[in-house]
Structure 1
Amino acid sequence: MVYSLGVQWLSELLGTAIMILFGNGAVANVELKGTKGYHNGWMIIAVGYGFGVMIPVMMFGSISGAQINPAITLGLAANGLFPWSHVLTYISAQMIGAMLGQFLLIIAYKPFYNKTDNTQAILGTCSTISASGSYLNGFINEFLGTFLLVFGAMLILHSQALMHEAGAAQMGVGFLVWVLVASLGGPTGPGLNPARDLGPRIIHALFPLPQKGDSQWSYAWIPVVAPIVASILAVCLFKTVY
């Protein structure tokens, strides 16, 4: 079945919002004082983001492709695998969805944001942070993680072995995100997705949280630019070789 561009736009918006709610929701559960999961460890965050990507892909994959990531949208378009005429529609949906998801998340966790005085922890529930303080390290981490995400997802979703097993392929993408966050999450988070970082960072800047601190706008270009460059190259490699 072919869905209208409007339905695809709504699906990308909802899918991205769900990803943020599940992914950043796991971060909030670990980082904010007083929650049931406070200080329960990084693996909760990895699971939250793994399933946070898997569930929207399974929900909306057959409708919009469930790209839920401007880097993937641009990577596909730059390599002739997605129409440029749909790019702005998709990216606008992804950005609005990311902001909506973060707004709803802050509403849900508002009492715990009020209790938390660690500004880094609060920002971490919204956007990525370079743990080393190095912009170069941040760029390398976001580039490498996104390259592995996009290249791996392209191979999984186009695998001959999974040609008639769409659900298994979509689960594979979720496990790929899970292991990427568990293994490469230490340096920056990671973002791997411009909308996942920029949308919630905007909400962090605008929402009147009592002890939120700085939104670190000087760093904000890295989790936007690095994933886009990595995605374009990853799709190019996939298309050229496979």
Structure 2
Amino acid sequence: MSNADVFIGEVIGTAILILFGAGVCAAVTLNFSKAKASGWIVIAFGWGFAVLAGAYTAAPLSGGHLNPAVTLGIAVDTGAWGQVWVYVLGQLVGAVIGAVLAYLVYYAQFRANRDEATAQPTLGIFSTIPEIRHPVANLVTEVIATVALVLPVLAFGLTEGLGQSGTLVLIVALLVVGIGLSLGGPTGYAINPARDLGPRIVHALLPIPNKGTSDWGYAWIPVVGPLLGGALAGLLYNLAF
């Protein structure tokens, strides 16, 4: 795969990922949305479908990593570092684009958030927020949850039939749903540095009424935690398989 193919594939795939993912968070969070208050299960499945759509779209061009932690885990396992920067750059650009698109889809609902009496928090639509702010515990949660993503993704590659049948991406999407349901409660399961950082930048820059803080003091955890988890998963896979 050429650098251009990788970059374009990751931009498009990650943009779709964040459009769907931030979109379901907006749908559940914002007033005047038909999905208002529909709950965590809807969010978990929404993110799973986001992975499904984004990865299937990007796969022919780039393999559909959509996540620097996945890219890092593969590089640690295989030693192929040459295109890592292309993957990560494409993922970050795509995450920014997807967050802007999600904002445009829910533009009227964001504008309706002007009313101080009924205003809804907006950062959680774009990025993760821990339920209990404890940096060490939050970091450990992100590391473990990312290992639980990347290690199975690497192992799935050993099952040749999954790739040939085209069901590999579907299995990964269901894995993401499972992580959200089982491990997402403490931090909102970033498990992807681009997924959190790109939309957080968009949240900081867009003129969103009553948007509140973008919480840059916490922002390093959903970046460092998944990167550590991805590297650890690559090491474990290399040692065990």
Tell me whether the two structures share a fold, i.e. TM-score over 0.5: yes
Matches of residues 209-220 of structure 1 in structure 2 within 5 Å? 209-220=208-219
Provide the rounded CA distance (Å) in 2 between the counterparts of 1:161 and 1:101: 32
Matches of residues 84-123 of structure 1 in structure 2 within 5 Å? 84-116=81-113, 121-123=121-123
Provide the rounded CA distance (Å) in 2 between the counterparts of 1:86 and 1:119: 43
- Asked if the contact 2:68/2:91 (under 8 Å) is kept, the reply is yes
Matched, 1:134 2:134: yes
Two-structure CA RMSD over aligned residues (Å): 1.6
Provide the rounded CA distance (Å) in 2 between the counterparts of 1:173 and 1:9: 21
Greater CA deviation, 73-82 or 190-199?
Answer: 73-82
| SS of structure 2 residue aligned to 1:79 | helix
Map Cα deviations across residues 122-175 of structure 1 (whole Å, 9 max, x no partner).
00001000111222221121111101000111112322453532x222110000
Matched, 1:178 2:177: yes
Alpha-carbon distance, 1:78 to partner = 2.9
Matches of residues 127-166 of structure 1 in structure 2 within 5 Å? 127-160=127-160, 162=162, 164-165=164-165
Alpha-carbon distance, 1:115 to partner = 2.6
- Asked if the contact 1:11/1:60 (under 8 Å) is kept, the reply is yes
Provide the rounded CA distance (Å) in 1 between the counterparts of 2:240 and 2:181: 28
Provide the rounded CA distance (Å) in 2 between the counterparts of 1:217 and 1:104: 22
User: Structure 1 stretches of 5 or more lacking a match?
Assistant: none
Q: Normalising by the residue count of structure 2, what TM-score does the alignment of the two structures yield?
A: 0.93
| SS of structure 1 residue aligned to 2:214 | coil
Q: 1:81 to 1:54 in 2, by over 3 A?
A: farther
- Asked if the contact 1:157/1:170 (under 8 Å) is kept, the reply is no
User: Structure 2 stretches of 5 or more lacking a match?
Assistant: none
- Name the structure 2 match of 1:24: 22
Provide the rounded CA distance (Å) in 1 between the counterparts of 2:33 and 2:233: 38
Q: 1:87 to 1:39 in 2, by over 3 A?
A: same
| SS of structure 2 residue aligned to 1:13 | helix
- Asked if the contact 1:70/1:194 (under 8 Å) is kept, the reply is yes
Provide the rounded CA distance (Å) in 1 between the counterparts of 2:188 and 2:86: 27
Greater CA deviation, 170-179 or 107-116?
Answer: 107-116
- Which amino acid in 2 is paired with 1:42? W
Greater CA deviation, 168-177 or 112-121?
Answer: 112-121
Identity of aligned residues (%): 39
Matches of residues 193-204 of structure 1 in structure 2 within 5 Å? 193-204=192-203
Matched, 1:8 2:6: yes
Q: 1:100 to 1:240 in 2, by over 3 A?
A: same
Q: Once superposed, which parts of structure 1, at least 4 consecutive aligned residues long, lie more than 6 Å away?
A: none
Q: 1:144 to 1:119 in 2, by over 3 A?
A: farther
- Name the structure 1 match of 2:187: 188
Alpha-carbon distance, 1:26 to partner = 0.6
Q: 1:190 to 1:114 in 2, by over 3 A?
A: same
Alpha-carbon distance, 1:108 to partner = 1.2
- Name the structure 1 match of 2:50: 52
- Asked if the contact 2:30/2:120 (under 8 Å) is kept, the reply is no
Alpha-carbon distance, 1:224 to partner = 0.3
Map Cα deviations across residues 97-136 of structure 1 (whole Å, 9 max, x no partner).
0000001111111111223357773000010001112222
- Name the structure 2 match of 1:35: 33
How many residues are treated as equivalent by the alignment?
Answer: 238
Provide the rounded CA distance (Å) in 2 between the counterparts of 1:99 and 1:119: 24
